[in-house]
Amino acid sequence: MTTTAGHTPNTEILRLDDVGKRYGNVNALRGVTLAVRQGEITCVLGDNGAGKSTLIKIIAGLHQHSEGVLTVNGEEVHFTSPRDSLGRGIATVYQDLALVPLMSIWRNFFLGQELRKGVGPFSHLDVKRMQRITGEELTKMGISVPDLDRNVGALSGGQRQCIAIARAIYFGAKVLILDEPTAALGVKQSGVVLKYVAKARDAGLGVIFITHNPHHAYLVGNHFVILNRGLVSLDSARADITLDRLTNEMAGGAELEALSHELSAPGTTPEPAATLASARPTEG
């Protein structure tokens, strides 16, 4: 079977085996095993302190793992800088740092990879070509921006995330890490961003979608991994899990059940854990 983009799905691009990370005495991650496949979205869920940022930093080359094996396309890697990770086709879109607010949309799109024309000291930025390509690429993604000279700061958080995703795809990312792309957004904007997350998947990228929101994860995810205090507490393909169970597991499952009993006032029936879980505020 091939996707619309002509890729064979399920090819593993990136893999962590038994990966651990210690910061001094703190065990931020222990025994983390997970796979990222081409044309799939792997959602990594977890509460604050679960180890999500540590995981991103290891894959993005900002921090090195203390234990275990990180593999890209079947080859073991040891990243010592973000450049190493980028060189392997891994692009990371951070929530607040995706783009430079005081620069135009097209400048942001080509930031660090500007096109020039002419040679040597007489070369200059090929503004027209960068503007044209930015326009074409955004249109391809279904993003309509009437004025590419506008500063990115004037765009909504959702639009900014979408432009950062389009840029990663254009520059040939094979793996896209999205760090809580919907955490600061309202319902409508989250929907727009999720649409582009799905487009990245359809373009054949392996997407790692970090979130604390099981509802957003379930809308687009093919695979779900929950981190809990540095350990993988759940690893499930979409076919094997319902949204209710994912929400419940994310909220702490058994711990929540116990809390529900503890908190029930005398003479009242305790709330089932699943109800508590779905009542948990998940919108950032």
Contact of 277 with 250, CB cutoff 8 Å: yes
- How is residue 71 written in tokens? 């593999």
Q: Does 46 interact with ligand ADP (rule: CB under 6 A)?
A: yes
List, in order, residues 6 or more apart from 228 with CB less than 8 Å away. Answer: 46, 47, 50, 252
Q: How far apart are CB 187 and ligand ADP at their closest, in Å?
A: 23
According to the binding rule CB under 6 A, does residue 48 interact with ligand ADP?
yes
| Helix, strand, coil share (%) of the chain residues, nearest 5 | 35, 25, 40
**Alpha carbon 198 to its chain's center:** 11
Asked if residue 54 binds ligand ADP (CB under 6 A), the reply is: yes
**Contact string 13-32 vs ligand ADP (x = CB under 6 A):** ----------x--x-x----
- Which DSSP state fits 116? E
Q: Applying CB under 6 A, does 43 fall inside the site for ligand ADP?
A: no
Identify the burial level of 49 via C-beta atoms within 10 angstroms of its C-beta, where 0-12 means exposed, 13-18 middle and 19 or more buried. Answer: middle
* Residue 228 CB, nearest approach to ligand ADP (Å): 10
Q: Considering only the stretches 47-55, 105-113, 118-126, 148-156, report the one whose residues sit in contact with ligand ADP under the rule CB under 6 A.
A: 47-55
50 binds ligand ADP, rule: CB under 6 A? yes
Q: Does 52 bind ligand ADP (CB under 6 A)?
A: yes
For residues 24 and 78, the answer to whether their CB atoms sit within 8 Å is no
Q: How far is the CB of 49 from ligand ADP (least distance, A)?
A: 4
Part in contact with ligand ADP (CB under 6 A); list of ranges 6-14, 45-53, 77-85, 152-160 = 45-53
Q: Which two tokens stand for residue 72?
A: 């890209």
Place of tokens 């593999």: 71
CB of 26 to ligand ADP, least distance (A): 4
C-beta closer to ligand ADP: residue 138 or 227: 227
The reply on whether position 178 binds ligand ADP by CB under 6 A is: no
Q: How far is the CB of 180 from ligand ADP (least distance, A)?
A: 9
| Binding flag, residue 92, ligand ADP (CB under 6 A) | no
* Residue 211 engages ligand ADP in binding (rule: CB under 6 A): no
Sign of CA dihedral 248, 252, 253, 255: negative
26 by DSSP, 3-state: which? Answer: strand
Residue type, 261: H
> Residue 141 in contact with residue 205, Cβ under 8 Å?
no
Chain positions 222 to 251 lying near ligand ADP, rule: CB under 6 A, are none
Span interacting with ligand ADP, options 44-52, 99-107, 217-225, 270-278, rule CB under 6 A: 44-52
15/52 with CB nearer ligand ADP: 52
Q: Shortest distance, CB of residue 90 to ligand ADP, whole angstroms? A: 18
The closest alpha carbon to 199, from 166, 227, 246, belongs to 166
Asked if 53 is part of the footprint of ligand ADP (rule: CB under 6 A), the reply reads yes
The reply to whether 214 sits near ligand ADP by the rule CB under 6 A is no
68: region left, alpha or beta (phi > 0 left; psi from -120 to 50 alpha): left
Q: What are phi and psi of 143, to 5 degrees?
A: -100, 120
Residues of the shown chain interacting with ligand ADP in the complex, contacts defined by CB under 6 A = 23, 26, 28, 46, 48-54
